């Protein structure tokens, strides 16, 4: 049962085709169980298609098209990974601006696996301690971050994790941090 401090928290999940299915569905389920309202925000208008480890996965309806999304309408941001998803998002100026607005407003952000690629584009990786899928290590260091190999890292409102195996720790820390967005 959700605590009163979490009721009404609005969480944007910024994704496009090729997001790692479990990196969206498991954190979303944990957030929903805590009483949050999660919404898929995407540059796609109708549906987004997931990647399921080695092949295409399920499709999910887009709740808010990116063209209509406003960061001020949300309390927190979730950035799932998958290689295709964040590599595409970081090339879309509106997606980068949307994510950057969360950092600018001091709102909590959670990124897993390749999700920190989008964080790099916002400029928010600089000076932060982060983790990610190992192939992003050099990219994050070049962006001014301190990269560490840990299952979950929290630094100034940004939570990062490495991979699907880290989801239990990621979910635990995400729900704690996002609860703080409501003063809970």
3-state helix, strand, coil in the chain (%, to 5): 40, 25, 35
3-state SS of 51-110 is: EECCEEEEEEECCEEHHHCCHHHCCEEEECCCCHHHHHHCCCHHHHHHHHHHHHCCCCEE
106 burial class (0-12, 13-18, 19+ CB within 10 angstroms)?
exposed
Token pair belonging to 37: 């309202």
Bridge partner list, 109: 77, 158
Give the C-alpha separation, 108 to 36, whole Å.
14
How do strand 37-42 and strand 55-61 relate by DSSP bridges?
A: unpaired
Active site residue 113: yes
Write down the catalytic residue from 9, 109, 113, 159: 113
Active-site residue identified among 28, 49, 90, 114: 114
Q: Which residues are catalytic?
A: 113-114
């Amino acid at each position: 049962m959700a605590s009163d401090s979490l009721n009404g928290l609005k969480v944007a999940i910024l994704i496009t085709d090729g997001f790692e299915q479990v990196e969206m569905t498991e954190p979303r389920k944990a957030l929903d169980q805590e009483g949050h309202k999660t919404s898929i925000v995407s540059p796609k208008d109708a549906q987004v298609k997931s990647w399921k480890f080695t092949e295409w996965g399920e499709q999910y309806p887009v709740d808010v098209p990116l063209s209509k999304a406003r960061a001020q309408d949300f309390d927190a941001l979730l950035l799932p990974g998958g290689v295709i998803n964040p590599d595409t998002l970081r090339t879309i100026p509106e997606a980068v601006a949307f994510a950057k607005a969360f950092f600018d407003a001091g709102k909590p952000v959670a990124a897993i696996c390749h999700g920190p690629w989008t964080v790099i584009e916002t400029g928010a990786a600089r000076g932060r301690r982060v983790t990610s899928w190992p192939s992003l290590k050099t990219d994050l260091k070049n962006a001014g971050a301190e990269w560490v190999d840990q299952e979950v890292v929290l630094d100034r409102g940004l939570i990062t994790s490495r991979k699907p195996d880290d989801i239990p720790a990621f979910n635990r820390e995400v729900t704690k941090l996002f609860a703080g967005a409501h003063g809970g």
